[in-house]
Amino acid sequence: MSRVERISGLRGMNDILPADEALWRRFDDAVAATMRAYGYQRIRTPILEPTRLFVRGIGEVTDIVEKEMYSFTDALNDEQLTLRPENTAGVVRSVLEHNLLYDGPKRLWYTGPMFRHERPQRGRYRQFHQVGAEALGFAGPDADAEVILICQRLFDDLGLAGISLEINSLGAADERRAHREALIAHLAADEGVLDEDARRRLHTNPLRILDSKNPALQSIIAAAPKLIDFLGEASRAHFESLQSLLRAQNVPFRINPRLVRGLDYYNLTVFEWVTPFGPERTPLTICGGGRYDPLIEMLGGKPAPACGFAVGVERVLELMRATEHAVDSSLCDVYVAHQGDAAAPVALQVAERLRDAGLDVILHCGGGSFKSQFKRADGSGAWFAVVIGEDEVARGAASVKWLRESASASGRQESVPLDDLADLIIDQLTADDEQ
């Protein structure tokens, strides 16, 4: 018989294995708590959206639309569809479709997978996850400060250190046009030195050239005109007010005049949270955001201001691992071990009653000696093993064994009537929490 070939997953689209689940759960819990603290409500949008949503919202000449989107034609209705490369455009589409701004501004947040067809590398995948917040209908720098403070609180709650904030202003449309003309003139003077990507972007998206990591271009980029020098009075006032608000909250930041965003809909405030990462201390962006007032009108709505951010989940998890976070990897509170024909139905009933009491319980399946079952109980991280054999069934009781060191007991074992079992375990867990 010929051997069946194994099928591997797609490159850049990774499995999240059970061993990582505790870390993801800790991150998810911290995100939900932080968003709740600021009054943000969760919104869930589809992974698939019409391609034209991203072409119109992100910009036709951006790298995302030109090279990175997973797009295909729906054979049923001949419609162009795309796996979402980001979620801000989808959130705005949903807000407009359901008239969510009819009764006033909204604070929304989301989490989920995004898709970009780019070269997989450390912290960057073809299927990756983002958490984001969108403050829709708020025009002032106070909303910009709020979304930045959300990030600060989240990173603090996760115990992450060494993350720094960089901010800049992209100004208004006419200010960007004036800067764009000056930037093109500056870059065109050295067009022969520009690499292929820079020449391609020169007349379509020259701001993105400022993001280039090509060493040969750094002197040209350093001498390029700065957008901040083209800001008018209103844009400068907005930016200076944001800085004052951040200083008042003791949030350190650095003004990075070369900081831009890769999406067409940004204006005024832009920011990134970065961290030096790895042995070479390479700067790694873990969060990016800013103000995108033009987007709602670009997607067919009445003009309305908006700002927000997106956090790269995989990058934050990598930081959490690097800082050696202790994450409780226990699967349950109680592991129920049993042996014998009469014990099996009793063990099943005991496990259900313990779950009714709010405990997390693993019921041993597959038979085996008590020795092998205790090995699995230890591996589960449970605090208690509840043991039911023929003798326990006859007595209407269970043997309870303390598996982990605690303030209240260690290595202890006693027989407990089945009716008292849940109360005993809950009392012991509560006592440990209080101490």
SS (H, E, C) 246-258: HHHCCCCCEECCC
User: Phi, psi (5° rounding) for residue 297?
Assistant: -70, -35
pTM of the predicted protein model:
0.84
422 token code pair: 């849940």
Which residue do the tokens 């997973």 mark?
70
For the chain, how are helix, strand and coil distributed in percent, rounded to 5? 40, 20, 35
Q: Where are the alpha helices (DSSP H) in 141-228?
A: 141-157, 173-188, 196-201, 218-222
Cα gap 384→394, rounded to integer Å? 22
- Which of 315, 330, 372, 321 is closest to 130 using CA atoms? 315
Any alpha helices (H) in 64-172, and if so which ranges? 88-97, 141-157
Q: What is the largest CA-CA distance in the chain?
A: 93
132: Cβ contacts below 8 Å, ≥ 6 apart: 87, 88, 91, 109, 110, 111, 289, 308, 309, 310, 311
Instruction: Considering the chain, tell me which residue range(s) the CATH 3.30.930.10 domain(s) occupy.
Output: 18-171+231-322
List per-residue pLDDT tens for the chain, 435 residues long. 678 888 888 888 888 888 888 889 999 999 999 999 999 999 999 999 999 998 886 665 455 666 788 899 988 888 999 999 999 999 999 999 999 999 999 999 999 999 998 776 666 789 999 999 999 999 999 999 999 999 999 999 999 888 999 999 999 888 888 988 898 888 888 777 788 888 888 777 787 787 777 887 888 888 888 888 899 999 999 999 999 999 999 999 999 988 877 666 789 999 999 988 655 567 788 999 999 999 999 999 999 999 999 999 999 998 888 776 555 667 789 999 999 999 999 999 999 999 999 999 999 998 888 889 888 988 888 999 999 999 899 999 999 998 876 535 556 888 989 999 999 999 888 876 655
Fold type of domain 334-430: Rossmann fold (3.40.50)
Which residue type is seen at 43? Answer: I
CATH of 18-171+231-322, one of 3.30.70.141, 3.30.930.10, 3.40.640.10, 3.30.70.890: 3.30.930.10
Bridge partner list, 295: none
Cβ atoms of residues 399 and 415 within 8 Å: yes
Q: What is the DSSP letter of 121?
A: B
All CATH 3.40.50.800 domain ranges in the chain, comma separated? 334-430
Residue 397 and residue 394: Cα distance in Å, rounded?
A: 8
Find out whether 293 and 267 touch, Cβ atoms under 8 Å.
Answer: yes
Asked whether the beta carbons of 421 and 386 are under 8 A apart, the reply is yes
CB atoms under 10 Å from CB of 51, counted, come to 17
Distance CA 95, CA 306 (A): 12
Torsion over CA: 289, 80, 128, 199 (sign): negative
In this structure, are residues 331 and 300 in contact, taking their beta carbons and an 8 Å threshold?
no
E strand or H helix that includes residue 348: helix 343-356
d(CA 58, CA 307): 15
